[in-house]
Amino acid sequence: MKKIFFFFCILALSLPLYATKVEIGKDLEIIVDGKPFFPIMQWAQSKTKMEEQKKYGINTFFGQGDESTAVEYAAEAARLGLFVVTAFKEEQVEAVRQSPALLGWLYKDEPDMPGKDKKAPRIPTAESIAIYEKARAMDREHPMFLTLTPKFDPNIEKVNYDISFYKDYNKATDIIGYDIYPIFGSMSVEKLWWVASGVTELQRLYKGKPAYAFIETNAGSKWISPSRMRHPFPYEIRCEVWMAIVRGVKGIAYFTHAWVSQENIGNPNMKKRMAEDKTNKFYTQFGVPEENKKELTKINNQITRLTPAICSPDILGKVTKEAAGGDVEIMVKENEGKIYIFAVNMKRSSCTVKFKVPDLKSNVKIAVDEENRSITAGNREFSDKFSEHATHIYVIEK
């Protein structure tokens, strides 16, 4: 009897795990096993950090930040009920693709950036396309992700070389993303709108593909003098996330790495670039200050709760707005008998916005999500104040 039991145990262990099916919906939403899913991704972390970072609302680990195999990395994510987007390596595909934790594959990060010879792209687009075709041939159930630098957007970066090769990435991926860090990478605190600009340009170049955006969370760049740095404020992180969503992304990813110790950020006595520190002794994969951890948790939990609304079709013509000052953009959705208005102030100036909703009745209470307040509607309209880079989400019961 014991031998029979042992045989079936071995047989069960040898059977493939249930593979997660990942699809792209008609509104470019990501669908996992038949349900809308909004990836909230964390870049290049050790698998030992997964359990802690799950507490901040992270649901997907993007790339690996340790020496474990992709099988081991996916196994830890599966244990925690999380997902991974892991490097495509032919020898690991068969084992990893059966994992319930696998959301998708990636090839190499930022293949479009110039190489050591200062020519772009550093990886020929033909190679990226060939890897994509191989990945799709070996696994049709999981999409390829590809992350670009912002050099495709002339509103952000002025480059002195031909960027026509960017169109080739249409053939190299299923889901396209990019990274821009106005504060962390450029100390351009007036340029948070770069995040939104990149999303729009990305969607123009790659119509029909879901987009995602990387979001900064902390200071600590190795290329900027510590004396000039500051962490992004919580409201700035929130604004970057929601301006990307309002512009249409179907996922976000956080960059949390740092090369500067917390106590030296903003220190006027630390004027040398961290690139001179060849030891990287202050390097950490997760250099996020406590107040920003709290904000990330709040943002991520809110996104997860509102995913069915975020991933539903846009409702055009249901809501219009008027604003004196500021630059508030909106996204309007309808889900389960409710209208959602996602509103983001793109500028560092305050304003008051009047929202006009033709179907709205007078004296209706409009909930402002997670702000513990409501607004009473007037005659088919309501107004609200926006501080600089503020975001508000309104929920109207139909």
Helix (H/G/I), strand (E/B), else coil: 90:
helix
pLDDT value for 61: 98
Residue 30 bridge partners (DSSP): 24, 37
The fold of the 16-310 domain, in CATH, is TIM Barrel (3.20.20)
212: nearest Cα among 249, 254, 182: 249
pLDDT tens per residue, range 24-73: 999 999 999 999 999 999 999 999 999 999 999 999 999 999 999 999 99
pLDDT surpasses 90 at 317: no
Token output for 60: 């997907």
Domain ranges for the chain, please list them. 16-310, 320-397
**Read out DSSP for 308-369?**
HHHTSPB-TTS-EEEEESS-EEEEEEEETTEEEEEEEE-SSS-EEEEEE-TTPPTT-EEEET
As a whole number of angstroms, the distance between CA 180 and CA 17 comes to: 37
Q: What pTM value is reported for the model?
A: 0.94
The architecture of the domain spanning 320-397 is: Sandwich (2.60)
Helix (H/G/I), strand (E/B), else coil: 213:
strand
As a whole number of angstroms, the distance between CA 244 and CA 40 comes to: 13
pLDDT tens per residue, range 194-243: 999 999 999 999 999 999 999 999 999 988 888 999 999 999 999 999 99
Report whether 292 contacts 235 (CB < 8 A). no
| pLDDT cut 90: percent of the chain above it | 85
